[in-house]
Amino acid sequence: MLQEEAAAGMSDATPPASSSSPPAAQHPISLPTQPGRAQALVLPSRRSSPSSGALTLPSRPTRPLPKPPAASASALSLSPLHALGAFGLASLGVVGLAAGGVWAVKLAVGVNDMDEFRLKARLMLGSALPGLSERVHRAVSPSERGFSAPPSPASPNTSTQPAAAPREDDGWTFAAAQERLAHAFGEGGVGRWAEQVEREMEAEREWEVRRRKDRLDAVPG
């Protein structure tokens, strides 16, 4: 009888073949039971919860960016007026400064118009730089011109004759002026060349005046 009960207890303690085997972490623990009957107690394994991973912090709600205030219609309508006012103030300031400068110069020099200022400036230049003033306002003598004096008209009826083209014996020519400038630079350097340039310019001016006068005299009546 005792053997049959032990065999029955063993058959009850053995799990069926179709059931899944317990994990390796489970260990059967045998507890003392009634004499002649042994039962196996199996503890359930602790299942891992899905929340056992890394903790995630709740995201903060994003705030929308503040929009810039729209320009009012009154400000837009006044912007051209502001620009015009600024331009007017700048122009008024420039005109005022110019008028003040002219008035200050008039008081300092003691003149009333441009003619008096021209004469005053010429006198001041002559007293401050006499050498330069003499060279600027001196008359060119025939010996310094580098050519002979213009011939006088032979007869009064030359006004009816056509004007002749400039010739070599008329005096000044461009080629001769170039030769004289080169010769002056070779002899005296830049200073002599500058003096010769002044003479050539005066000679060319007189030659142009004489040629225009001849053309006017050649026009009949």
Residues 134 and 190 in one domain: no
First to last CA, the chain: 177
Q: How does pLDDT run across 25-39, given as a tens digit for each residue?
A: 444 455 555 555 555
| pLDDT value of residue 153 | 46
| pLDDT value of residue 56 | 66
Residues 184 and 207 in one domain: yes
Which token pair is 190?
């830049």
The average confidence (pLDDT) of the chain is 69
Show Cβ contacts of residue 109 under 8 Å, excluding neighbours closer than 6 positions.
117, 120
Residues 122 and 101 in one domain: yes
Residue 86 lies in a domain: no
What range does the domain containing 120 cover? 92-138
Low-confidence residues in the chain, pLDDT < 50: 17-28, 143-169
Residues 116 and 103 in one domain: yes
Residue 192 lies in a domain: yes
Residues 124 and 144 in one domain: no
Number of domains within the chain: 2
**Residue 172 DSSP one-character state:** -
| pLDDT value of residue 26 | 47
| pLDDT value of residue 88 | 93
Helix (H, G, I), strand (E, B) or coil at 30: strand
Residues 131 and 192 in one domain: no
Residue 123 lies in a domain: yes
pTM of this structure: 0.29
Residues 118 and 134 in one domain: yes
